[in-house]
Amino acid sequence: MIQLNNLERSYKSPAGQFWVLRRINLEIREGEFITIMGPSGAGKSSLLNVLALLDDGWQGEYWFRGQAAHEMKRKQRSELAKRNIGMVFQSYHLLDELTVRENIDLPLSYKDIPHKQRQGMVADTLDRFQIVAKKDLFPSQLSGGQQQLVGVARAVIHKPAFLLADEPTGNLHSSQAKEIMELFRELNRQGTTIVQVTHSETNAAYGSRTIQLRDGWMVADTANPDLEAYEAVKQ
Amino acid sequence: MHMNVLSQDIRYGLRQLRNNPGFTAIVVFTLALAIGVNTAIFSIVDALMLRSLPYSHPDRIGTIFTRISGPILSDERHHIDGEQWELLRDEVPALISAVSGTRTSGVNLEAASHVQYVQAGRVSEHYLDVLSIDPVMGRNFSHTEDLPHAPKTAILSYGLWRKAFDADPHVVGRSVLLRGEPYTVIGVLPEDATTPLNADVYTALQPTRQGEGGGTNFDCVTRLRDGATWPEADSQINRAWLHRADRYELGDNPGAQVSYYSVPLQKGQTATLRPQVLALMLAAGFILLIACANLASLTLVRVLRRTPEIATRMALGASRWQIQKQLWIENLLLALVGGTVGVAVGFGALRGLILLLPEHFLPVSRLSLDTRELAFTGFVSIATSILFGMLPAFATRRLDLRSAMANRMSEAGEGMNLRQGLITGEVALTVLLLAAAGLLARTLIHLETLPPGFNAEGVMTAKASLDDARYHDAAAFRKLLSESTEAMRQIPGVQYAAVGLSLPYERELNSGGITISDGKEAGRDVIGDEVYVTPDYFAVLQIPLLSGRAFTESDGANTQPVAIVNQSFVLKAFHGQNPVGRHLNKNQVIVGVVRDVAMVPGLDNYHLPLSTEETMYIPAAQMGGWNLELLHIWFQPSWIVRTSRPIEGLTARMQRALASVDPSLPFSGFHRMDDLLAKTLATQRVEVALLTTMAALALLLSAVGIFGLVANMVRQQTREIGIRIALGSTIREAMIHIGVPGLRASVLGLFMGLVLCAGGLRVMRSVLYGIGVYDGATIASVVVVLASVTLVAATVPTLRIARIDPARTLREE
């Protein structure tokens, strides 16, 4: 589904070039549930942002279902992301001025979808996530878990093929976290390819594959035992 | 689908405004003031310059300007004389032409035993035809009625017909007493009819080359005949007028080139007012720009605070255009609400303006807030929303989604340079407005404190119209003045009573030429003014007698003609030598010299609102009957009393005193001398009031902008300030660190404003009196005021720094 070849990301700083991702070669197949782990500053969120096509400053190749994202302009990438990718954030990033229903409807409002169809999709999603009773509440009126639930609902309403989650349970209690992870598992079972970033081993256990990053390098991949140790690669 | 998206954006926008009431209130308030001021001023501009005159084919109605190029340049509308009128009428077939008196005169109308004072306009036979006004009852003046000594006829305005004649449907053919003579009513004008004269009643002018027509005492209006063109008409006018015997235009300009050309009547009527009105519109435009700069700054901060929300939306698929559209819709909603409130503000401002403006300030047109003004308000609202919404929208163009969503923005505040730039611009414009207002205010003070030359305390005046056939006779005129002033002297508390043709602070009669009869200046003509007065005139006004004597009761119709002249006359005619005993106009002896009084000049200094002129006073008792008729068409004499103390019911007693001599002669109004000064300087007062208000508004807006900038910096840099204090900075040092950007922007704005003043204030040269354009005291005052206000605005928000708890800040970090 996704192929990254020699993908790198760096920033210029007064001290010189600062690398956050180094020669990432990664293949993500349809239906996988991948966990990306690593210490702080390893480049986990940076990799997730690249996968989400939120970041443009990378070099290398990024193939999405055979399409060369690395050759696309910003607008084309946005369209690609809009159609195929959903994102769940650690801080939920719900809009405080919008109700639950309106937050869930938000991604649809940026697509050319007829109004009635949108209404139907929102209704279905509310029902699917069992939050119909809360549709007219504002985020400040929900618990953390409920907010994240809405965040997930918003991320999947347009049935993306690819769901990215950046520390989705980072701000939740364990029981709420379990609920969210179970939801992810169910979505994956239904065919959604999921990539999550997490520090939690418990959460990682829900996935089918774990990738380790360190200092921007991919140092381990449970799907690729032949991955060279990063010390050797660094040399 | 697009409508659904639009209605969604509108719904979200309204919700944003509702959930941020403080921000919304400030924006709406600022916009309402700025848009309201612009709407009110535009109403004046519209009425004066844009709105078509309420006549059929107004583009075919005009008047004639004279262009003189010589030692003295001139390009303006002139009054014309009888000869010019007859040539225009007879030798310019391209036009239907008409003339009128230059202004209305107050006359007494007696109908059904009721006397009232009305404004009468004198017009030639085709005046109403030029304006395409058909009487709603009766008819227009005929050719015969416009000839000298023709039967006297009158056309009533609709308002007078309703008020004085109870809308009598049989009024046509009725006889009324006007100016003490019987006139037959021949017509009534339509309700909505309006003329440049704006009179209550119209009578035939009967213009000739003699009398009034011997001087430039007529205004002309013209209409192009069908098929004719303006160039054609101008060519005919020039042919007709350039070969006249008496070319008065060359009087002070021998050898100059003179030409005549037609201009639209609207322009001709309003030419002298246009510069002031356009200046006001410019000032109002500045207010709007300052308001937009303020709002752009406020909105920028607010948008930047919403950066995480905007980044989330973009992460969810919103394009930059969709984000900007939403922001613009929010701004548009604010602007429309502000504009709606602005219409109410404009309406209130307009009502206030109408009260302030001198009577008949706007020739012909009426001030109103109608669809045109509403459309203007709508346009300004939309333009404002684009202006103040543009900058914040552009600020989001380079959004880094990752940092924005993590709420990691530059702690100094995105857009800080932009905001400081806006503050600089606001302050610069404020400097210009303040300086202009200051200069005008000083001009007004100068004019109001000019030495009056008399004592205005304890003086009451009242005018009455002697444009009345009964007072064409000199004996009747003398009897009226003598007996009425004697009756007023009997009022307890009255020290003196007198009558004068004109008063200080008014325009005087231009005599056309006073000839010195003896001495080395014999034969020389002095252009000056003439004022007839009764003996106690100088005493009642306490005008100092500098030499010789005042008039007495013995200076009568059959005694030696005498005159009293003023200082300016002595200087000009006699080079400062005491002229008592000298002769003027063959047989008048100068018996005294008085001090100059401040008056409205009509000769050399006619562009000044107040000045002094060479004046010759003559005893009213020595006025010949032959010129009383003409004199009292143009001027109404004033009765003047001086009292030793306030007298209750003084005006009623004065009226009774006059009525005891002539029961059918009403006073038209009572005025203290302060009222006359206020009336003379009304235009200047309005200009000062308006410009000062706008400058104060600009100062307030600039102060709010600076306050907001610094307050926002305090808020955004709380963490940094806490760390600085924890590391040893004093509160004072922190305050200086935070307040300096706002002060820096203000200082730069002040400097730029002074540069703007160097160029911009020059245009005010023609409206300043008594001070120069770069008056040091005014500029210094502006600098001090602005510096003080900006210092306070930049300092007050930093006081919050004293409440920052470094320990708590670091804990949160």
**Confidence band of B627 (pLDDT split at 50, 70, 90):** confident
> Cβ contacts of residue B804 below 8 Å, gap of 6+?
B718, B721, B722, B725
User: For chain B, what is the mean pLDDT?
Assistant: 86
Average pLDDT over residues A52-70: 89
Instruction: Show the beta-strand stretches assigned E in A29-89.
Output: 33-37, 58-64, 67-68, 85-88
Contact B318 A54 (CB under 8 A): no
B15 contacts in chain A (CB < 8 Å): 97
User: Which of B356 and A87 is assigned the larger pLDDT?
Assistant: A87
Residue-level pLDDT at B412: 44
Comparing A211-215, B172-176, B298-302, B587-591, the range with the smallest average pLDDT is B298-302
A190 min Cα distance to partner chain B (Å): 22
Token readout for B36 is 């309201």
Q: With contact defined as beta carbons under 8 Å apart, do B423 and B706 qualify?
A: yes
Give the residue carrying structure tokens 């140092």: A219
Residues of B in contact with A102 (CB under 8 A): 12
**Cα distance between residue B675 and residue B649, in whole Å:** 18
Which chain A residue's Cα is nearest to B405?
A: A93
Which residues in chain A are contacts of B319 at CB distance < 8 A? Answer: 75, 78, 110
A54: nearest CB among B19, B319, B402? B402
Specify the pLDDT at position B411.
41
- C-beta neighbour count of B587 within 10 angstroms: 10
| Range B515-548 burial, b when 16+ CB lie within 10 A, else e | bbbeeebeeeebbbbbbbbbbbbbebbbbeeebb
**Interchain proximity B317–A110, CB inside 8 Å:** yes
| Contact residues on chain A for B312, CB-CB shorter than 8 A | 89, 93, 95
Structure tokens at A164: 């990215």
Nearest residue in chain A measured CA to CA from B4: A115
> Min CA distance, A225 vs chain B (Å)?
32
Q: Helices in B357-415 by DSSP H: which ranges?
A: 371-395, 401-405
Taking the Cβ of residue A54 and every Cβ of chain B, the question of whether any pair is shorter than 8 Å is answered with yes
Chain A residues near residue B405 by CB distance under 8 angstroms: 89, 93
**What whole-number distance in Å separates Cα of residue B54 and Cα of residue B75?**
26
Contact at CB, B319 and A75, closer than 8 angstroms: yes
**Token digits for B781?**
């005052």
pLDDT band at A235 (very low <50, low <70, confident <90, very high): low
Please report the pLDDT score of residue B182 as a whole number: 92
**pLDDT tens by residue, B143-164:** 999 999 899 999 999 999 999 9
Name the residue in chain A with its Cα closest to that of B309.
Answer: A95
Both tokens assigned to A122: 């929102």
Cβ distance of B401 and A81 shorter than 8 Å: no
A232 CA to chain B: closest CA distance, Å?
31
A95 touching chain B per CB within 8 A: yes
Question: Is the pLDDT assigned to residue B228 strictly greater than 90?
Answer: yes
Provide the H-helix boundaries in B490-544.
Answer: 537-541
Predicted confidence at residue B253, as pLDDT, reads: 67
Q: Mutate one of A115, A150, A167 to test the B interface: name it (highest B CB count within 10 A).
A: A115
Is the CB of A168 inside 8 Å of chain B's CB atoms? no
- Contact list in B for residue A89 (CB cut-off 8 A) is 312, 405
Q: Which two tokens stand for residue B29?
A: 């308030």
* B308 CA: distance to closest CA in chain A (Å): 8
Q: For residue B729, give how far its alpha carbon lies from the nearest alpha carbon of chain A (Å).
A: 27
A154 contact B CB<8A: yes
Interacting residues of B134 by C-beta distance below 8 A, sequence separation 6+: B128, B140, B190
Which residues in chain A are closer than 8 Å to B309, comparing Cβ atoms?
95-97
Q: What is the pLDDT of residues B379-423, one digit of tens each?
A: 888 888 787 777 776 766 666 666 666 654 444 455 678 888 888
Q: Is the pLDDT of residue B223 over 90?
A: yes
Give the one of A54, A98, A102 whose C-beta lies nearest to B401's C-beta. A54
- Contact: A93, B405; criterion CB under 8 Å: yes
The alpha carbon of residue B744 is apart from the nearest alpha carbon of chain A, in Å, by 29
- B4, B308, B318: residue with CB nearest A110: B318
Out of B12, B312, B402, name the one closest to residue A55 (CB): B402
Interface mutation target, options A83, A97, A99, chain B, most CBs of B under 10 Å: A97
How many helices and strands in chain A, by DSSP H and E?
8, 10
Q: Which residue has the tokens 């989650």?
A: A165
**Percent of chain B's residues with pLDDT above 70:** 92
Match 């949160």 to its residue by tokens. Answer: B812
Nearest-CA distance B37 → chain A (Å): 34
Banded pLDDT at B52 (limits 50, 70, 90): confident
Give the whole-number percent of chain B exceeding pLDDT 90: 39
Which residue in A54, A103, A154 has the most chain B C-beta atoms within 10 A of its own C-beta, making it the best mutation to test that interface? Answer: A54
Percent of chain A with pLDDT over 90: 39
Q: Which residues contact B66 (CB under 8 A, 6 or more apart)?
A: B74, B75, B76, B77, B78, B249, B258, B259, B260
Q: Where are the beta strands (DSSP E) in B244-363?
A: 257-264
Q: What is the CA radius of gyration of chain B?
A: 33
Report the distance separating Cα B464 and Cα B324, nearest Å: 68
* Whole-number average pLDDT of chain A: 88
Pairing of strands B114-123, B181-188: unpaired
Residue in B124, B81, B83, B123 with CA at minimum distance from that of residue B215? B81
pLDDT at B186: 96
Mutation target among A44, A74, A76, A78 for the B interface, most CBs of B within 10 A:
A78
Q: B513: how many CB neighbours lie within 10 A of its CB?
A: 11
Q: Do A93 and B312 touch (CB under 8 A)?
A: yes
Flag whether residue A116 sits within 8 Å of chain B, measured between CB atoms. Answer: no
Among B597-606, B651-660, B720-729, name the one with the lowest average pLDDT.
Answer: B720-729
Which of B24, B316, B407 should we substitute to test contact with A (largest number of A Cβ atoms within 10 Å)? Answer: B316
Eight-class DSSP state of B46: I
Check residue B189 and give its pLDDT.
96
Supply B210's token pair. Answer: 């003699």
Mean pLDDT of B155-175: 94
pLDDT at position B358 is: 63
User: In the beta sheet, which residues pair with residue A58?
Assistant: A9
Question: Predicted confidence band at B630 (pLDDT cuts at 50, 70, 90)?
Answer: confident
Q: Which residues of B touch A (CB under 8 A)?
A: 1, 4-5, 8, 12, 15-16, 19, 308-309, 312-313, 315-319, 322, 401-402, 405
| Residue in B103, B99, B96, B63 with CA at minimum distance from that of residue B81 | B99
Q: What is the mean pLDDT of residues B203-213?
A: 90
pLDDT of residue B252: 64
pLDDT of residue B409: 46
Taking the Cβ of residue A112 and every Cβ of chain B, the question of whether any pair is shorter than 8 Å is answered with yes
Of A74-88, A196-210, B352-366, the one with minimum mean pLDDT is B352-366
Calpha distance B337→B332 (Å, rounded)? 8
Residues in A closer than 8 angstroms to B12, CB to CB, are 97-98, 102
Q: Which of A107-111, B56-60, B538-542, B584-588 has the highest mean pLDDT?
A: B538-542
| DSSP-assigned states of every residue in B272-284 | TTHHHHHHHHHHH
- A158 → chain B, closest CA residue: B316
**pLDDT for position B1:** 58
Number of CB pairs, chain A paired with chain B, less than 8 A apart: 50
Sorting pLDDT into bands at 50, 70 and 90, what band is B308?
confident
Q: Is A80 on the interface with B (CB under 8 A)?
A: no
Lowest mean pLDDT among A7-11, A76-80, B412-416, B552-556: B412-416
Residue of B nearest to A113 (CA): B1
Report DSSP state, residue B501.
Answer: S
Displacement of CA B783 from its chain's centroid (Å) = 28
Rounded average pLDDT over B566-586: 92
Contact between B526 and B604 under an 8 Å Cβ cutoff? The reply is: no
Question: Nearest C-alpha of chain A: how many angstroms from B401?
Answer: 7
- Residues in chain A with CB shorter than 8 Å from the CB of B7 are none
pLDDT confidence of A229, banded at 50, 70, 90? low
Q: pLDDT per residue over B699-709, tens digit each?
A: 888 888 888 87
The answer to whether residue B343 scores a pLDDT higher than 60 is yes
Closest approach of chain B CAs to the CA of A158, in angstroms?
A: 11
Pairwise CB contact (< 8 Å): A95 & B309:
yes
Give the per-residue SS3 of A114-161: CHHHHHHHHHHHHHHCCCHHHCCCCHHHCCHHHHHHHHHHHHHCCCCC
Contact B316 A112 (CB under 8 A): no
Alpha-carbon span B612 to B504, nearest angstrom: 10
Across the range A111-139, mean pLDDT stands at: 90
Asked if the Cβ–Cβ distance from A93 to B8 is below 8 Å, we say: no
pLDDT tens, position by position, B105-130 = 889 898 877 788 899 999 999 999 99
ipTM: 0.80
Closest CA to B401 of A48, A156, A131, A70: A48
Question: Residue B27: which of B259, B340, B270, B331 has the closest Cα?
Answer: B331
- The pTM of this model reads 0.77
- Contact of A229 with chain B, judged by CB distance below 8 Å, is answered with no
Residue A232 in this model has a pLDDT that exceeds 70: no
Residue numbers in A near B397 (CB within 8 A): none
Cβ atoms of residues B666 and B464 within 8 Å: yes
Q: Tell me, rounded to whole angstroms, the distance of Cα A213 from its chain centroid.
A: 16
